Structure 1
Amino acid sequence: MAHPLLLVIPAVALPALALFVERAGRVRISERHHSHHDTYVVPVSFTRSLVIAMAFMGCLGIVLAVACAMVEFFPTPDDVLVFFDSFIATAFLMWWVIRRYKVSVFSDHLVVTPFFGSHVLVLYDEIDLLEWAGTRKGSGYRDLVIWAGGHGTVRISGMVDVEQILMAIDRFDALPRVKGGILS
């Protein structure tokens, strides 16, 4: 097995790095207004919650590993640390990906920086359809799929303020019509 100190490093380093970036990184305001555009990102309360969970699990993992070493309990300290390190690494990756996501709305177009991949530019006058998809997120919104040129161009996550983004797009004619409570 690996040296226990090597397994303690991720339990301490990843949450510490995330805490440092959350504190010292650029200011992440969920909704940022600029003179020529507005930018929407995943709420800081959510990303901060992930960082707190990583820090808590790191501390808990170290304490349980020390307890297992002192009592010589069935799970070895290595087993305990590997379990907690895998949780922390997964949460760190999710935190890193979610921090990347943003939607910037301008007067005639929007730019989406998705969780993975390159930026997507959508011109408002080329939008064919705006469609709700997926389940409701913590914000109360579902994802919004924007169709342009006959295919789904981009999916805006319901984690951001979709209502404000819809107001900026101002293409309510592209929303599906409702007849008798059923979407047509």
Structure 2
Amino acid sequence: MSAPTMRALWRAALAAAAVALGGCDPHGDEVVITHQQRDAAYAPSIFTASGVIGVELHGAPLAGMRPEETLPLLAAPQRFPTGMRFRALPPGGFDPRNPAHDSRHRLVLVFNAAPPADPQAICRTARPLGGPPAGARGFAVDMAVCRDMEPIVFARMRAVARERADRDFAARALRRLLTQML
């Protein structure tokens, strides 16, 4: 074989390997983020200015886990200031006229929605959303950053553990989602 043909074969093999590994992380888990939308109105400063990210949790990533147990699994991206914290908000029923809702912006996570949640519905719901409990090996989540009742960031993630899904797996997958989208 000529040198150019051999180089072409190597490039093809490397490209195939890159495609095969594209959705995997170093732990062998499959984490795929799709349906990514980001409005020009989004800037990280909507959260970093206050140091608090209000979070509506609809469901949980793991079977048997309550939504409030999910909050400690969340981590702000490294590019955010140290000390960023997450504060739980009740799922559904956000009202920008209510003084208890002290920010126009919030992060909404809807776990295992079937069918997948609509970005508009996520920000406008007056009731909890979500679907059946997560499977033993993974979960799906629809994520939106809402400004009042409108989504300014949206993504959908499917996360499947190489073996069994646990808290560490859920934390890694959610960290990846937040790092990519916030």
TM-score, reference length from structure 2: 0.27
Query: Where is the helix percentage greater, Structure 1 or Structure 2?
Result: 1
| Structure number with higher relative contact order (C-alpha < 8 Å, ≥ 6 residues apart) | 2
Max Rg structure: 1
